[in-house]
Amino acid sequence: MPILQALVFATIFCGFFGIFLKQNLVMKILSMDVMSTGVIAFYVLIAARGGFFTPILDTAEPSVGYADPVPQAVILTAIVIGFSIQALMLVGVMKLSRDNPTLESREIEKTYSP
């Protein structure tokens, strides 16, 4: 389990540092997606517990522990929201690419400086 946690944190940090170190806007968006994937993986890693049953009525004893379905719903919502934010950012980059020959953030900042 500690190796898996280390890999999840490495994914989060790779995305985090990619946002600051990359100059291309598409690479920044990709880094944000990697970071959000790492955060979702961390949440799943924390919420995962063994030995629980799904909360469906069957012949299981009432004293048996049931898995909580709320983390699954939260993760699905986070995935959908992350996808929509990524699509919105890519549309913004497409609009910027119509006016600029490059997608490097420093060049765009030089063009639009007051």
Distance between CA atoms of residues 41 and 49, nearest Å: 14
What does pTM read for this prediction? Answer: 0.80
Distance between CA atoms of residues 6 and 23, nearest Å: 27
Q: Is residue 61 part of a domain?
A: no
When pLDDT is averaged across residues 65-82 and rounded to a whole number, the result is: 85
Distance between CA atoms of residues 113 and 42, nearest Å: 39
Q: Is residue 70 part of a domain?
A: yes
CA distances from 56 to 50, 53, 62, 84, 102 (A): 17, 8, 12, 32, 54
pLDDT, the chain, mean: 86
Q: Is residue 85 part of a domain?
A: yes
The tally of domains found in the chain comes to 1
- pLDDT at residue 66 above 60? yes
Report pLDDT for 61. 62
When pLDDT is averaged across residues 45-53 and rounded to a whole number, the result is: 76
